[in-house]
Protein backbone atom coordinates (compact mmCIF):
# COMPACT_ATOMS: atom_id res chain seq x y z
CA UNK A 1 0.00 0.00 0.00
CA UNK A 2 1.41 3.37 -0.95
CA UNK A 3 1.91 6.25 1.44
CA UNK A 4 -0.80 8.20 -0.39
CA UNK A 5 -3.29 5.38 0.19
CA UNK A 6 -2.44 5.24 3.88
CA UNK A 7 -2.80 9.01 4.12
CA UNK A 8 -6.19 8.84 2.37
CA UNK A 9 -7.33 6.19 4.85
CA UNK A 10 -6.14 8.28 7.79
CA UNK A 11 -7.94 11.31 6.36
CA UNK A 12 -11.15 9.29 5.98
CA UNK A 13 -10.97 8.19 9.63
CA UNK A 14 -10.43 11.79 10.67
CA UNK A 15 -13.49 12.90 8.68
CA UNK A 16 -15.54 10.16 10.31
CA UNK A 17 -14.40 11.25 13.77
CA UNK A 18 -15.13 14.90 13.11
CA UNK A 19 -18.45 14.37 11.34
CA UNK A 20 -20.29 13.41 14.55
CA UNK A 21 -22.81 11.49 12.44
CA UNK A 22 -24.13 7.97 12.78
CA UNK A 23 -22.05 7.13 15.84
CA UNK A 24 -23.28 4.27 17.99
CA UNK A 25 -20.94 4.48 20.99
CA UNK A 26 -20.52 7.32 23.49
CA UNK A 27 -17.37 7.30 25.61
CA UNK A 28 -17.09 9.52 28.69
CA UNK A 29 -13.35 9.96 28.88
CA UNK A 30 -12.52 12.14 31.86
CA UNK A 31 -13.78 13.49 35.16
CA UNK A 32 -15.62 16.27 33.30
CA UNK A 33 -17.67 13.63 31.47
CA UNK A 34 -16.50 14.92 28.08
CA UNK A 35 -18.31 12.94 25.39
CA UNK A 36 -16.42 11.22 22.61
CA UNK A 37 -18.65 9.83 19.89
CA UNK A 38 -17.32 6.70 18.24
CA UNK A 39 -18.27 3.97 15.83
CA UNK A 40 -18.40 0.39 17.09
CA UNK A 41 -17.12 -0.93 13.77
CA UNK A 42 -13.97 1.20 14.05
CA UNK A 43 -13.50 0.31 17.72
CA UNK A 44 -13.94 -3.38 17.01
CA UNK A 45 -11.56 -3.31 14.09
CA UNK A 46 -8.81 -1.08 15.47
CA UNK A 47 -8.77 -1.84 19.18
CA UNK A 48 -7.66 -4.91 21.09
CA UNK A 49 -9.83 -3.80 24.01
CA UNK A 50 -13.18 -4.26 22.27
CA UNK A 51 -13.81 -7.77 21.00
CA UNK A 52 -15.54 -7.54 17.64
CA UNK A 53 -18.37 -9.93 18.33
CA UNK A 54 -19.47 -8.74 21.77
CA UNK A 55 -19.49 -4.99 21.10
CA UNK A 56 -21.45 -5.22 17.84
CA UNK A 57 -23.86 -7.85 19.21
CA UNK A 58 -24.62 -5.81 22.34
CA UNK A 59 -25.55 -2.86 20.18
CA UNK A 60 -27.75 -4.91 17.87
CA UNK A 61 -29.63 -6.63 20.67
CA UNK A 62 -30.09 -4.04 23.38
CA UNK A 63 -29.82 -0.42 22.41
CA UNK A 64 -29.28 2.24 19.83
CA UNK A 65 -26.12 3.58 21.49
CA UNK A 66 -23.64 2.05 23.89
CA UNK A 67 -22.34 4.32 26.65
CA UNK A 68 -18.90 3.64 28.11
CA UNK A 69 -17.54 5.48 31.14
CA UNK A 70 -13.83 5.54 31.80
Give the global pTM: 0.58
| pLDDT at position 47 | 78
pLDDT, tens digit (0-9, with 9 covering 90-100), for 6-65: 999 889 888 887 887 788 888 887 778 888 888 878 887 887 777 655 666 666 655 566
In sequence order, what are the beta bridge partners of 68? Answer: 27
Of 18, 66, 9, nearest in space to 43 by CA = 66
Confidence category of residue 68, pLDDT binned at 50, 70, 90: low
Alpha-carbon distance 23 to 7, whole Å?
23
Amino acid sequence: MSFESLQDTANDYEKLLNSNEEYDVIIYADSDNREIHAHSLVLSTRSQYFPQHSLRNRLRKKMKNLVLKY
